[in-house]
Amino acid sequence: MATEPLTAERILEATEEVLRRYGPAKATVVDVARVLGVSHGSVYRHFRTKAALREAVTSRWLSRTETVLAGIMEGEAEPGPEKLRGWLLALFDTKRHKAGDDPELFATFSVLIDESSDVVDAHLTELAHQLTRIVEEGVREGEFVAADPASAAGAVFAATARFHDPAYAPEWRKPTIDAEFTAVCDLLLRGLRA
């Protein structure tokens, strides 16, 4: 282990592991250093404070969703309505898998998110940007009508909060949730279509 160079990425992986194991209240920088077999000073050379480390790990966690969604946004083959639906479904799926597959880590990140409003704002800005690009593209192709694509994208994001806002995570296990998602998507796509 000591032969691998100590990168920021390795520290963030170890931090996520330590957070999963001890929870956000108990996890310390010393725990992270111990997992990596280095001194805590070495960790602090990459992240100057415990808060900076926690912000970076939260940002990394949220950026995984952004990367998946960016792949859909950049796809060229699909027509606008399918792309928009695919993007919304991928957002919902990523969030509910995070919530369902690893509830401890999800609870941990819910705590971290509450303490890192800048990181969350950056995440929401990136998602709004991607959604606006999809709406703009659909308008250019004559598939969507939207006088103000950014405002229409904001309305779509707000109208689907039930399917991405972590506050609704307990509802995501309901057997009717997929039908609800489809009904909301159908209505929004009908509202956007040219």
Q: Which one of 30, 124, 179, 194 is in contact with a second copy (CB under 8 A)?
A: 179
174 — alpha (psi -120 to 50), left (phi > 0) or beta?
Answer: beta
Closer to a second copy by CB, 12 or 135: give it. Answer: 135
SS3 content of the chain, % helix, strand, coil (to 5): 80, 0, 20
* Residue 178, H or E segment: helix 177-192
Number of residues that bind a second copy (CB under 8 A): 22
Name which of residues 140 to 159 contact a second copy (CB under 8 A): 151-152, 154-156, 158-159
Residue 135 contacts a second copy per CB under 8 A: no
- Rounded to 10 degrees, what is the CA torsion of 100, 105, 111, 114? -70
Q: What radius of gyration do the chain's Cα atoms show?
A: 19
Residue 169 contacts a second copy per CB under 8 A: no
Joined together, the tokens standing for residue 56 give 């970076």
Closer to a second copy by CB, 60 or 85: give it. Answer: 85
Least distance CB 141 / a second copy (angstroms): 18
17 close to 42: Cβ distance less than 8 angstroms = no
Name which of residues 99 to 128 contact a second copy (CB under 8 A): none
Closer to a second copy by CB, 25 or 147: give it. Answer: 147
Q: Which one of 74, 104, 115, 180 is in contact with a second copy (CB under 8 A)?
A: 180
Q: Which one of 7, 178, 186, 194 is in contact with a second copy (CB under 8 A)?
A: 186
For residues 24 and 94, give the distance between their C-alpha atoms in angstroms, rounded to a whole number.
22
Q: Which residues bind a second copy (CB under 8 A)?
A: 151-152, 154-156, 158-162, 167, 179-180, 183-184, 186-192
